[in-house]
């Protein structure tokens, strides 16, 4: 949806309309099960799970709106397990954390679902209008490949031929900052041969090296093939609003703001607590 540049219409200041991209933290992976990407919601392009753009928010001035950046879930091994990613939020928009990798049965559910354990089906469920499901584990035979984690833009791949781990699902591109960027890719599944398996474009971790999801993408962690899986990538919130307005963030917010084409774009990469805020004037 296209925003109206700041100005005066019929003697009144135009309403404050804010476009947003809200991505949750990606899930943590286990030894064989790739983790799902964080949920992906936006009013400025395609949302996760193949959904259309959501509605632009019309906000009040001098009012505090909650803003939270979800951390990625920690990876784990067969004994300690992994963790789901944490939610990211802005105002009334909340994105679900990515599904965690598992040590048995189907993949964990979340914004995007995690890949299933070898021999198990289906992958974990993604959240409607936020992300896709994880891939199936296929056969429970050597080298025991797990499914890839789902991404915001595609389902995680099933166990590959030869019982190898499945690649992570691709993320989604957004140009809210003025530059087209992939985010929220799913983490790669893995197998005991420690084969090279790609994470989903958009920050999904790859196996067996570089297994963590990329920070501030919501990418899912990759399975390792041996030992603990990778951590999920932290989420991000990006806000686009007319340049005649200014945003003021509470002290626990890490952000930067750029101006282009009559709009400000504020990128929020971290919050110290879940009660941080932003207000506009």
The H helix count followed by the E strand count for the chain is 0, 15
Backbone angles phi, psi at 134, to 5 degrees: -80, 170
Task: Give the whole-angstrom CA distance, residue 257 versus residue 100.
Answer: 32
Task: List beta partners, residue 280.
Answer: 247
Is 117's pLDDT higher than 80?
yes
- Specify the pLDDT at position 10: 34
How many CA atoms lie within 13 Å of 206's alpha carbon, on the beta-carbon side?
Answer: 11
Backbone angles phi, psi at 48, to 5 degrees: -70, 160
Nearest to 244 by CA among 264, 266, 261: 264
- Specify the pLDDT at position 14: 59
Task: Give the whole-angstrom CA distance, residue 81 versus residue 99.
Answer: 12
DSSP conformational letter for 66: E
Give the pLDDT mean for 153-182: 97
Task: Give the whole-angstrom CA distance, residue 209 versus residue 227.
Answer: 12
pLDDT level of residue 78 (50, 70, 90 thresholds): confident
Is the Cβ–Cβ distance between 183 and 177 less than 8 Å? Answer: no
pLDDT digits (tens, 9 = 90+) for 19-42: 999 999 999 999 999 999 999 999
CA max distance for the chain: 72
DSSP conformational letter for 61: T
Is the Cβ–Cβ distance between 138 and 148 less than 8 Å? Answer: no
Alpha helices in 224-264 (DSSP H): none
Is 198's pLDDT higher than 90?
yes
CA angle, 36 then 107 then 21, to 5°: 20
3-state class of 62 per DSSP? coil
More confident residue, 145 or 3: 145
Nearest to 126 by CA among 182, 174, 85: 85
- Specify the pLDDT at position 209: 84
């Amino acid at each position: 949806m296209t925003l109206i540049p700041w100005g005066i219409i019929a003697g009144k200041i135009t309403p404050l309309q804010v476009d947003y991209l809200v991505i949750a933290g990606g899930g943590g992976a286990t030894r064989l099960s790739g983790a799902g990407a964080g949920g992906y919601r936006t009013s400025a392009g395609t949302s996760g799970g193949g959904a259309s753009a959501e509605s632009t928010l019309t906000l009040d001035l001098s009012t505090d709106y909650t803003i939270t950046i979800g951390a990625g879930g920690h990876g784990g091994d067969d004994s300690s397990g992994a963790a789901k990613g944490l939610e990211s939020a802005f105002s009334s928009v909340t994105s679900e954390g990515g599904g965690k990798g598992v040590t048995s049965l189907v993949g964990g559910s979340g914004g995007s679902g995690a890949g299933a354990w070898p021999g198990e089906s289906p992958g974990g469920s993604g959240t409607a209008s936020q992300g896709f499901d994880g891939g199936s584990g296929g056969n429970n035979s050597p080298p025991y490949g797990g499914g890839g984690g789902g991404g915001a833009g595609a389902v995680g791949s099933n166990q590959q031929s030869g019982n190898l781990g499945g690649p992570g699902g691709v993320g989604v591109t957004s140009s809210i900052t003025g530059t087209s960027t992939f985010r929220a890719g799913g983490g790669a599944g893995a197998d005991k041969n420690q084969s090279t398996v790609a994470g989903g474009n958009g920050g999904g971790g790859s196996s067996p090296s570089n297994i963590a999801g990329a920070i501030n993408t919501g990418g899912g962690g990759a399975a390792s093939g041996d030992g603990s899986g990778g951590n999920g990538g932290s989420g991000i919130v990006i806000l686009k609003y007319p340049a005649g307005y200014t945003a003021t963030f509470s002290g626990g917010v890490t952000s930067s703001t750029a101006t282009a084409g009559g709009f400000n774009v504020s990128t929020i990469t971290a919050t110290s607590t879940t009660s941080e805020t932003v207000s506009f004037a």
